[in-house]
Amino acid sequence: MRLPVSKLAEKYQENVFRAAFSVSRNPDDAEDVVQDTFLKYMESNRQFESEEHIKAWLLRTAMNRSKDVVHSFWHRNLGSFEEYMDSVSFEEPGDRELVETVLSLPEKYRIPIYLFYYEDYSVKEIAGILKLPESTTKSRLYRGRKMLKDIFKEDWTDDE
């Protein structure tokens, strides 16, 4: 199965951007990764089983490309993360803190948390996307949740 890039970009561009941003933490790099991801799709002759398979491939490709960008020699600009967060509007005041806290997690916990809560993937689907055993995916989700709980519990007790 192949779908037109224009249809996929219209439908999944934001998802791919968020996946790339969750790894790179830089909006400019994430935008570049989005373009690279859809370009890579256009250049490939790969056949997919379903539209969900295409979406998973796009997200996995974006995350892998983001890792390459983060580890590249040219990746230097950490200040743009704060600027980007200042430009995003959140519905609830606590939403910004939650997003920043999730993005502060180590990558191996941040990505499964992102895929589970923001992209609504199951543990099995996340394991497939990240090419990990389901048990490893479950433990990373558990540890990521525990880290978030500990961070928020610490913040809550500091306020007392």
* Percent of the chain whose predicted confidence (pLDDT) is above 90: 64
73 and 105 share one domain: no
Rounded Cα distance, 133 and 6, in Å: 33
77 and 132 share one domain: no
Region 27-32: mean pLDDT is 92
70 and 81 share one domain: yes
pTM of the entire predicted model: 0.70
78 and 98 share one domain: no
Q: Domains in the chain: how many in total?
A: 2
What Cα–Cα distance (Å) separates residue 10 from each residue in 5, 15, 137? 8, 10, 30
Region 84-108: mean pLDDT is 82
End position of a domain, from candidates 88, 108, 125: 88
9 and 53 share one domain: yes
What tens digit of pLDDT does each residue of 41-91 get? Answer: 999 999 999 999 999 999 999 999 999 988 875 655 444 566 667 777 788
Predicted local confidence at residue 74, as pLDDT: 60
Predicted local confidence at residue 135, as pLDDT: 97
Give the CA angle between residues 52, 54, 56 to the nearest 5°. Answer: 70
Phi and psi dihedrals of 29, rounded to 5?
Answer: -65, -40
102 and 150 share one domain: yes
82 and 103 share one domain: no
Distance of CA 91 to the CA centre of its chain: 20
**Domain housing 72:** 1-88
Long-range pairs, 38-42, Cβ under 8 A, ≥24 = 38/5, 38/8, 38/9, 38/13, 40/65, 41/5, 41/8, 42/5
Distance of CA 8 to the CA centre of its chain: 17
What tens digit of pLDDT does each residue of 133-153 get? Answer: 999 999 999 999 999 999 888
- Reply yes or no on whether the pLDDT at 10 is more than 90: yes
The CATH number given to whatever domain includes residue 54 is 1.10.1740
Binning pLDDT at 50, 70 and 90, where does residue 95 land?
Answer: confident
End position of a domain, from candidates 33, 66, 88: 88
